[in-house]
Amino acid sequence: MEFILNKESEFALDVQSGLSAINKYLPSKYFYDHRGDMLFQQIMQLPEYYLTRTEFSILNHHHSSILNPVLDLNQSFNLVEMGAGDGLKTKILIEYLHSQKVDYTYYPIDISGNVLNHLKESLENKFEGIQIQPIENIYRKALKEKIWDNDRPTLLLFLGANIGNFVLDEAKEILGIIGQALSKGDYALIGFDLKKDPELILGAYDDSQGVTRDFNLNVLNRINKELGGDFDLSKFKHWPVYNPVNGECRSYLVSLIDQEVHVEALGETFQFKKAEAIHTEVSKKYDTDELCVLAKESGFEIINDFLDDHEFFTDSLWKKM
């Protein structure tokens, strides 16, 4: 059998490392392929998944206030977005920029080329003359390469609480890299999911329809499809847990039986004990004190926190010092 990816691919190497670890793990970025992209679109429509709705409300109500600081510079600028996805929320900002006839270039960054192709096509169909340069890459590499590097100011978007997909030390690293990638006076708009009722948080990662379960299991499906794995998905259970002390909601795939799984492209068989877990995702929730510390340590000052009516979420506007 011939597989899409080989033993030396990044995916294969990460699977090798994760499944060989004492505490098994698989990076959540591998949830996303064509099927994973569709599942995440479904997740954003779920009644339990409050994050998308709340951020939509923030951007709808505050888009002009969010954009005014960079527009007040009265010059063309770079609009860079990390984890652009389908761009639904960003289109609120782009709609306003289009109505104001602003000169800017949009640089959406995403690991999924499939998503970027759809985003570029939909934006070009809706906004005549839009300048868009998609970047298919992971965050760290895109920020270090920064192909938008020019003499123009930059507004960087990191929406959707994507920063929460990193544990605190990793989040500090990413924010530090963002700080290094931006110049003095540049802006960053970062979405943070805030600490709240644990039941509300847990429900967002354990929906009644099982879509989030299928989304997490898709990483095993990708191993089967792309690396010749023989995972039986019915023998693993999706299990999210929330810790209200550190604000981390973690998702696991728990083996229901003693079993072994062979991955042909790696030429290896991995052993799973009954109740052994694979850590697949973290989604950290923050409080406002933590945001102040993160901004300062990353070389920013907080200009404004734009909150929804329930104060579930904030899009925090930072300025590089």
Structure tokens at 228: 């010749």
Quick count: other Cβ atoms within 10 Å of Cβ 86?
A: 18
> Tokens 């799984």 label which residue?
261
Q: Which of 97, 183, 181, 177 is nearest to 132 (CA)?
A: 97
Cα–Cα distance between 82 and 95 in angstroms, integer?
Answer: 19
Beta bridge partners of 164: none
Cα–Cα distance between 128 and 77 in angstroms, integer?
Answer: 18
Structure tokens at 81: 């977005």
Beta bridge partners of 104: 77
Number of H helices, E strands in the chain: 10, 13
Q: Which of 193, 225, 264 is nearest to 30 (CA)?
A: 225
Q: Give the model's pLDDT for residue 285.
A: 98
Q: What is the mean pLDDT of each run of 10 residues along the chain (321 residues)?
A: 61 96 96 91 94 95 97 97 90 96 96 89 95 94 94 96 93 96 97 97 96 97 96 98 97 98 96 98 96 97 97 98 96
Q: Give the model's pLDDT for residue 7.
A: 63
Q: Which of 112, 98, 142 is nearest to 35 (CA)?
A: 112
Q: Give the model's pLDDT for residue 267.
A: 95
The answer to whether 316 and 306 have CB atoms below 8 angstroms apart is yes
Q: Give the model's pLDDT for residue 27.
A: 94
How much is the CA Rg of the chain, to the nearest whole Å?
20
Domains recognised in the chain with CATH numbers = 10-31+209-284 (no CATH), 50-196+285-320 (3.40.50.150)
Strands 154-158 and 77-82: what pairing?
parallel
Distances, alpha carbon 86 to alpha carbons 119, 123, 206, in Å:
6, 10, 23
